[in-house]
Amino acid sequence: MNTQTDTALSSVAPTMSTAVILAAGRGTRMKSEQPKVMHQLAGRPMLRYLLDNAAQVFDRIVVVVGPGMDDVAALAAPHAVVVQHERLGTGHAARQAAAEFGEGDVAVLYGDNPLITPGTMRALLEQRRSGDTGLALLAMEPADPARYGRVVTHNGQVTRIVEWADATAQERAIGLCNAGVLCANADDFRRWLSEIDNNNAQKEYYLGDVVARAVAQGECVRAVVAPEDELRGINSRAELAMAEACVQARLRQAAMAGGTTLIAPDTVFLCADTVLEPDTVVHPHVVFGPGVHVRRGAEIHAFSHVEGAVVGPDARIGPYARLRPGSDVGAGARVGNFVEIKATTLGAGAKASHLTYLGDTSVGSNANIGAGTITCNYDGVFKHRTEIGADSFIGSDSVLVAPVRVGDGAITAAGSVITHDVPDDAMAFGRARQSNRAEQARVFRERLKNRKEQG
């Protein structure tokens, strides 16, 4: 063993890497006042995907935002943020971050290309470090190359990027298309950015011109081919919808790989943070909003909407149920058709089987909530809670006016309006006394018919 050599090798610092994300676009074609990168995919801003994936590959992240984009800067935190005060093109945007490149390798990504996976980012970085590659870029082979810029190669090296409008018929026949993502040594990247100009119809500095600078200086430029779905740019609402479809397909595949049964996968919509434990079953046409955790063995029936809620093991939801934020359904509990719960806890085995609204309510274990029950939780100014005890029975069409407590084992008679607490094991009648008036139905109908005939 050569101790001196080993010591020298161990003292060599690993090459640093920086991802620069261009996120200053206003999204003019989105017809929106919201910055483009803040539009959501599966309940999460598109920029969040790129930040999370890049953080798995690169040592540092720098985000370029436009003036007044405080919400984008806040989302980018704690990563470095620089402002592009004048929007003079993608090359100009990358220049704004040049002082933040540091040492090592730099990759420039686009905030409206949010679906690039860590694996593809890693492949790009590895190609740059492969030995002879001065500049690496991402490319794709889409089913319809359309108006993408074409990547012209010779003997495996990229010789130039030609825009569709400038391409010959032969060049337009090339299937390899430019995705715009570049990776190079920080010093080289800074130099090439300083050399590009804006001698074009738009008077903008284009990041793609860096490729021509690298080739002109004798650098080896190589393309890393990635799937079209990963490199899909988002510039319009239609493209946002296509990207959403890609994200949903990934989420569904991940859910099924994790042990969830999706009976009709294409009809189920998930959020990026949806947690479905193994042995859960999701029926057709179910929508999950942000913040949902469905535990093992639970089943979500068709046409249910679940958001900000926990569904306990072996619980049953729906069909046509709505779980709103703050809801927690216990083990084996049942939320049936046309039942809505909000900020409500159902204990183990509790049942609200149909036609019920429970808001700001705690329901004890094994309680039964009859059809048509509602908890009146809002007085126009404040929200109030209702407590329903374990093993209690709430009769159909009961109205519980909060704040109120129904004790353990208590019963409310059907059609009752409960305004006072009900002790444990008590039965509450909160309805008016019934009186029957003979022949009055016939008299009433005849009176109405006469009024109708008289106009």
Q: What is the DSSP string of 91-156?
A: HHHHHHTGGG--SSEEEEEETT-TT--HHHHHHHHHHHTSSS-SEEEEEE--SS-TTPPEEEEETT
Cα–Cα distance, 320 to 283 (Å, whole number): 11
User: 134 near 148, Cβ under 8 Å?
Assistant: no
Q: Is 93 helix (H, G, I), strand (E, B) or coil?
A: helix
Region of residue 435 (left: phi > 0; alpha: psi -120 to 50; beta: else): beta
The verdict on whether residue 366 carries a ligand-binding annotation is no
The verdict on whether residue 36 carries a ligand-binding annotation is yes
Cα–Cα distance, 222 to 225 (Å, whole number): 10
Half-sphere exposure of 25 (CA within 13 A, CB side): 26
The verdict on whether residue 52 carries a ligand-binding annotation is no
Q: Is 285 a catalytic residue?
A: no
User: 183 near 137, Cβ under 8 Å?
Assistant: yes
The encoded tokens of residue 444 equal: 């009433």
The encoded tokens of residue 36 equal: 């483009």
Which of 368, 307, 310 has its CA nearest to residue 334? 368
The verdict on whether residue 453 carries a ligand-binding annotation is no
The verdict on whether residue 125 carries a ligand-binding annotation is no
**74 DSSP assignment:** H
The verdict on whether residue 90 carries a ligand-binding annotation is yes
The verdict on whether residue 437 carries a ligand-binding annotation is no
Cα–Cα distance, 229 to 408 (Å, whole number): 55
How many Cβ atoms are within 10 Å of 172's Cβ, its own excluded?
A: 14
User: 405 near 422, Cβ under 8 Å?
Assistant: yes
The verdict on whether residue 378 carries a ligand-binding annotation is yes
Parallel/antiparallel/unpaired status of strands 293-294 and 275-276:
parallel
Measured CA to CA in angstroms, residue 59 lies from 79, 110, 117, 349 at distances of 11, 18, 16, 49
The encoded tokens of residue 297 equal: 């063995």
User: 367 near 350, Cβ under 8 Å?
Assistant: yes
The verdict on whether residue 149 carries a ligand-binding annotation is yes
The verdict on whether residue 431 carries a ligand-binding annotation is yes
The verdict on whether residue 155 carries a ligand-binding annotation is no
The verdict on whether residue 199 carries a ligand-binding annotation is no
**30 DSSP assignment:** G
The verdict on whether residue 87 carries a ligand-binding annotation is no
The verdict on whether residue 163 carries a ligand-binding annotation is yes
Cα–Cα distance, 35 to 26 (Å, whole number): 5
**269 DSSP assignment:** B
Region of residue 134 (left: phi > 0; alpha: psi -120 to 50; beta: else): alpha
The verdict on whether residue 353 carries a ligand-binding annotation is no
The verdict on whether residue 25 carries a ligand-binding annotation is yes
The verdict on whether residue 324 carries a ligand-binding annotation is yes
The verdict on whether residue 205 carries a ligand-binding annotation is no
Cα–Cα distance, 32 to 209 (Å, whole number): 30
The verdict on whether residue 276 carries a ligand-binding annotation is no
The verdict on whether residue 22 carries a ligand-binding annotation is yes
Torsion sign (Cα): 204, 210, 215, 216: positive
The verdict on whether residue 2 carries a ligand-binding annotation is no
Q: Is 242 helix (H, G, I), strand (E, B) or coil?
A: helix
Q: Residues 79, 92, 354, 384: which is the catalytic one?
A: 354
**Residue whose token pair is 């130099």:** 191
The verdict on whether residue 348 carries a ligand-binding annotation is no
The verdict on whether residue 320 carries a ligand-binding annotation is no
| Binding site listing | 22-25, 36, 84, 89-90, 110-112, 149, 163, 178, 235, 324, 342, 357, 368, 371, 377-378, 396, 414, 431
Per the annotation, binding residues for UDP-N-acetyl-alpha-D-glucosamine are 22-25, 36, 84, 89-90, 110-112, 149, 163, 178, 235, 324, 342, 357, 368
Residues belonging to the active site? 354
What residues form the annotated binding site for Mg(2+)? 112, 235
Q: What residues form the annotated binding site for acetyl-CoA?
A: 371, 377-378, 396, 414, 431
